[in-house]
Copies of this chain bind each other. A is one copy, B any other.
């Protein structure tokens, strides 16, 4: 049996422990929701204040040149590229994940229309994050295509000659299950199918190597493991094989070859810059830059490989402590035990009370979240994210101890924990 002392000892030995002080962890809080909104880096308030008061407040419009605002989407993109196995000048930080997905799906549909017009299907997972499905559905309607939703074990069989695009989220938001990007991409390519990857729960959380996997398109989120702040700009990557073949219909001036010549006709910029559209929210982009910098500070401590090792140790510990200390409390495990199939979160299921249990934990300062199920296949979920940058092993012990108390005491059955909020 693991003890609290064991956990404290693990923290003492943790080579990444020094990174915790780079973050502002609120008092009396065990924050297991970094997969929804990452914690604020300690450096962010000063960085944002400088962007606001000096760059905007004093330098005003001159900041586009003087303070490098113009190149920020590319510069932040280049930093993100290092986390996802992309090359320099292949990523821009811009817009939202949904909008970037619209861009890359549009481009992928254009490629498919040119190269394999008989292919009319997009395959995705039924439990993919809904916005990805909504965007694909809207584009399918426009392009006379069809979206086919399957369970993860049926993906392989669904890759037929009718399929143009396989669109997957690398780490599932509900279960934390991770696809083998290289193997799935190879299987798709063997059938002549393009791949679009959503890295929302991967970038900064698990090792990603888009170029090694020969992926075609990817998008991802700035406000989860990149710690970019609420609603931080997202990012988009396109394999250089495809970048210059088509442009995308969100053809705004920031994707133009020469935006400040103000020509009436659209001429797309070379490379990933054509995946920009309008002016970006610079203050939020500065916060994202700071978040990515803070993550890259892990490079001095073993980088993404060390983060992955610790992430798996944290999620292994959480699973084993829940099973040891909350046995017979009706909890199930939705997240794969196999390391190769696990992201950086653990999802528990319970037939009754998942929402209220999460609320009771939040009241105790253990912040996870709840995701509603839709039946036997997808049960209600208690979702806990483990960001190895700032979560420790003692945190895991304490979180499970709170969970044990909430369940054993029946505390979660109090009426106040059943009140619904707009955002869950």
Contacts and interface: CB of A to CB of B under 8 A. Distances in A.
Interface stretch (A161-169, A258-266, A313-321, A325-333): A258-266
Contacts of A59: 26
A45 interface: yes
B134 A251 contact: yes
A260 B230 contact: no
Interface stretch (A32-40, A395-403, A405-413): A32-40
Interface in A247-261: 247, 249-254, 256, 259-261
A19 interface: no
Interface stretch (A2-10, A47-55, A292-300, A339-347): A47-55
B60 A249 contact: no
Interface residues of A, number: 94
A280 to B, nearest CB: 5
A52 B33 contact: no
Contacts of A133: 264-266
Given A61-B36, A283-B230, A251 B137 contact: yes
Given A99-B278, A130-B253, A249-B102, A44 B52 contact: yes
Contact of A262 (B39, B130, B234): B130
B251 A138 contact: yes
Interface string A284-328: 110100000000000000000000000000000000000000000
Contact of A282 (B33, B69, B229): B229
A204 to B, nearest CB: 17
B278 A281 contact: no
Contacts of A250: 98-99, 102, 135, 138
Given A70-B422, A131-B278, A231-B279, 16 more contacts: A36-B61, A37-B60, A45-B53, A71-B422, A95-B96, A96-B277, A97-B278, A98-B253, A98-B254, A99-B99, A133-B264, A134-B266, A137-B265, A138-B250, A230-B282, A260-B424
